[in-house]
Structure 1
Amino acid sequence: MNYEAMPNRPIMCIDMKCFYASIVAMLHGLDVLKTPVAVVANFDQPGSVVLAASPLMKEKYKIKTGSSRYEIPKHPDIRLFEPKMSFFIQMSMTITKLIANYVPVDAIHVYSVDESFVDLTGTEKLWGSPEETAKEIQKAILDQFNIPSAVGMGPNMLIAKLALDLEAKKTGFAKWTYEDIPKKLWPVRPLSEMWGIGKRMEANLNAMGIQTVGGLANADLAELEKRFGVMGNQLYYHAWGIDLSKLGEPLITNGALSFGKGQMLMRDYHTRKEIAVVLLEMCEDVMKRARDAGFVGRTISLGLSYSQNAMTKGFYRSKTIAVPTSETLVMYKACIELLDEHFAGEPARQLSVRISNLEKEHSIQLDLFDERKPQRQIIGPTMDAIRNRFGATSILRAVSYTKAGTAIKRDRLVGGHLA
């Protein structure tokens, strides 16, 4: 592979280690590196998920992000806290402002509440080499907030992210170049260890005889494109470390930009009727964001995970409709069809919905034979306008007032958790 024409900028991907745990430890005057700390989504639910755990919590008690509250042993040294999402977000913004002391604001791309990409081009005169600047930023965050961080560096966003996930999260700092790809990336297995490859794609690639990232890099590109379309092309070039996206653009991991929402249910939902209520609320939220951004989509996806004691794990299925849409009820109808086709009747505990295969709204053709469509199309934007002005729960569908509804309760939360 010839890398001469490929992007080659000093990109850093910085991740705040145990971000939630570090912040609550700071608030309570604890040392996150020496105290077993866990942040739990909801104290009232034994099955509530652990959102963050300190290093000692992971090492000594084997409790990590994703563990359940009931798995945490009763020990006097263990400190449990509920999330303070509004403060977490405030701290994330404060750290971003600190980074902006070293680079221009437009050189920072906030990827999540605890992770950012930063273009360190041009820091040499003020702060030294990009590597020195990155380490200076890490030191400043630790000194000011007692929050440890990990940094991956690379010539593009992808390699910076891979350096972070595969090396720096263990060592604190790692810099990869294009030349490092065969040595550091290709041996990676299972494939789902590589950012951007999920378990389902891993199974598909394994079925083709591809077990490592190196196997993916040396696979037949035409065959990958035939099997997976645009995603196959992306997988192949990502295996070579090639990423042409610019800082601030979405890092596309599923072949297309999409809008989605996932929700962990606070109890088991046993019936189709209950599940349908939450699906309608979720479709409403997703389609509002699509409309706000001016997009319509063709491919609608539904994911469902069953309760821990269920006989099966769940499913994730998609369907593509003929005419792109941003209408809530069109998405909801597709999700219900997928639910009816794949629901095993077991208690559900987690749901996700997504719309992808997007295009700008002004590019769609009008359906001249659907007389009700203009009426339906105005309902969504009208509800959006009311919510934007008076709040998310100022206008709701009737199902949100039933026992199965979650919209009213979740409106009191930030990021799905206590504010």
Structure 2
Amino acid sequence: MKPVVDYHTLPKRQILCVDMKSFYASCAALARGLDPMTCHLAVVANLDRPGSVVLAASPALKKDFGIKTGNRLFEIPDDPRIVIVPAQMNMYLDVSVEITRLFSQYVPKENIHTYSVDESFLDVTGTEKLWGSATEIAEHIQAEMMETFQLPCAIGIGPNMLMAKLCLDLEAKKKGIAEWTYDDVPNKLWPVSPLQEMWGIGSRIERRLHRMGITTVGQLAQFPLEKLEKAFGVMGNQLYYHAHGVDLSELGAPILQGQISFAKSQILLRDYADPEEVRYVVLEMCEEVAKRARMSGKAGRTVSFGLSYSDTTGGGGFYRSKTMDIATNVTQDIFDVCMQLFHQFYDHRVVRKVSISLSNIEEDEAVQLSLFDDNREKKRNLGYVMDEIRNKYGSDALLRAVSYTKAGTALHRSKLVGGHFAE
């Protein structure tokens, strides 16, 4: 029997999702006395590497030259109008902090969730007598952002975090400010296609949904819930209700409650032809994934591992998963599973990208101890102690020996901010 979604019983909050347009590029333009909306500017990760990725492009550069985030440095035309600058992560973080201070003039800090350096959620429910409607508050914030920082922004408004985010991505980024209510779900959300335009649906889930005959959000909303749950587990339940615009998560919690995963993906700085060097990088990345899980007090049962091969050997790759009997956040446990998948699927080609994910998450405190591994609790506690040392003295205070080899990347990455050199 198909569940009936009764919107009258759902919370109707006033959530703003604020996105700074081309944030890195806008900050870089203003620092150089340029107009963020009219200049042709690209922020690039590393100016010394032709293959370095474009982190941000100004609106005019996107429009006039077709260069956008994800392009490579060598793809930028040799045109005197184009300004190419390196990333200045410390400056972007400083501006982001000041923007959060601006938000705090409208709502208490507990009503602000900084989703990323350039995107935030604000719960303005109950502030109508002070600032007016949610749309009026959005207009105030947008105007003050321009007056104070000369930075453009777009704001989506919705009754929950999910709807606010969808409104931002699918309408407000074009209009500046837009609001969606539950009444808009059939007309604005259900026609969405391709499915990847729906926040929270990636390429792998989209492919699986296509194989089930689902190509629009509306078709997802009308698909039998029990079949989605059979195919995707808990995620199937959430896909169904998100397709109806339903999200009961609290501000600051992951929008995909119950779908939490801890992942790390790394494009290597060079081709890795030696399998032993690949193992070194995998061990470093397992350490990072395990640390993220421990910091959240979580453990996971499913490890996903993938390799992408260099274009010099034909490209392609694999991505496979394996589920353990007991959830873990111990580095060695995750690494052992990755190595099992590595030996099973690796075809000895040159590697350029490594991806690792820990999912099927549960509370760490609820994980049962193994009767057959006396050292399990010691390994778990050791991980937390190492995390405390790194948090206090820096991420490079404790590194594995492999990080000091020519294959290691952790020592290099410890000097970065947001994955890029700080300036």
TM-score bin (small chain): over 0.9
2:29 is aligned with 1:25? yes
Q: What are the within-5 Å matches in structure 2 for residues 65-144 of structure 1?
A: 65-144=69-148
Aligned-residue offset at 1:348: 2.8
Computed over aligned residues only, the root mean square deviation of the Cα atoms, in angstroms, reads 1.6
Aligned-residue offset at 1:310: 4.9
Aligned-residue offset at 1:375: 4.4
CA contact (8 A) 1:189 1:213 kept: yes
| Per-residue deviation, residues 339-391 of structure 1 (Å, max 9, x unmatched) | 22333444333322221222222222222222343443344234333323332
**CA separation of 1:112 and 1:308: change in aligned 2, threshold 3 A:** farther
| Per-residue deviation, residues 160-193 of structure 1 (Å, max 9, x unmatched) | 1111111111111111111111111111111111
Name the CA distance, whole Å, in 2 between partners of 1:294 and 1:376.
15
2:403 corresponds to which of 370, 385, 400: 400
CA contact (8 A) 2:135 2:177 kept: no
Residue 170 of structure 1: SS of its match in structure 2? helix
Name the CA distance, whole Å, in 1 between partners of 2:214 and 2:409.
42
Matched residue, 1:182:
186
Residue 92 of structure 1: SS of its match in structure 2? helix
**CA separation of 1:205 and 1:99: change in aligned 2, threshold 3 A:** same
2:162 is aligned with 1:162? no
Q: What are the within-5 Å matches in structure 2 for residues 274-353 of structure 1?
A: 274-308=277-311, 310-353=313-356
CA contact (8 A) 2:155 2:178 kept: yes
Q: Which amino acid aligns with 2:370?
A: D
Name the CA distance, whole Å, in 1 between partners of 2:374 and 2:234.
36
CA contact (8 A) 1:301 1:316 kept: yes
Matched residue, 2:367:
364
CA contact (8 A) 1:192 1:199 kept: yes
2:230 is aligned with 1:226? yes
Aligned-residue offset at 1:135: 1.1
Residue 60 of structure 1: SS of its match in structure 2? helix
Aligned-residue offset at 1:308: 4.4
Name the CA distance, whole Å, in 2 between partners of 1:394 and 1:93.
27
Matched residue, 1:244:
248
Name the CA distance, whole Å, in 1 between partners of 2:88 and 2:134.
34
| Per-residue deviation, residues 26-78 of structure 1 (Å, max 9, x unmatched) | 11111111111100011111111100000111111111000011101111111
Matched residue, 1:60:
64
Q: TM-score, normalised by structure 2?
A: 0.95
Name the CA distance, whole Å, in 2 between partners of 1:340 and 1:269.
16
Matched residue, 2:207:
203
User: Bigger CA drift: 203-212 or 300-309?
Assistant: 300-309
Name the CA distance, whole Å, in 2 between partners of 1:16 and 1:46.
28
Name the CA distance, whole Å, in 1 between partners of 2:377 and 2:175.
57
Name the CA distance, whole Å, in 2 between partners of 1:36 and 1:353.
36
Matched residue, 1:355:
358
Name the CA distance, whole Å, in 2 between partners of 1:215 and 1:10.
28
CA contact (8 A) 1:152 1:160 kept: yes
CA contact (8 A) 2:138 2:177 kept: no
Gaps of 5+ in 1: none
CA contact (8 A) 1:107 1:119 kept: yes
**CA separation of 1:375 and 1:118: change in aligned 2, threshold 3 A:** closer
Residue 15 of structure 1: SS of its match in structure 2? strand
**CA separation of 1:18 and 1:331: change in aligned 2, threshold 3 A:** same
Task: Determine what percentage of the aligned residue pairs are the same residue.
Answer: 54
Residue 30 of structure 1: SS of its match in structure 2? coil
CA contact (8 A) 1:150 1:169 kept: yes
Gaps of 5+ in 2: none
Name the CA distance, whole Å, in 2 between partners of 1:390 and 1:306.
36
CA contact (8 A) 1:45 1:266 kept: no
Name the CA distance, whole Å, in 2 between partners of 1:345 and 1:44.
30
Name the CA distance, whole Å, in 1 between partners of 2:270 and 2:188.
43
Name the CA distance, whole Å, in 2 between partners of 1:218 and 1:35.
46
Q: TM-score, normalised by structure 1?
A: 0.95
| Per-residue deviation, residues 68-107 of structure 1 (Å, max 9, x unmatched) | 1110111111111111111111111110110110111111
Residue 60 of structure 2: SS of its match in structure 1? helix
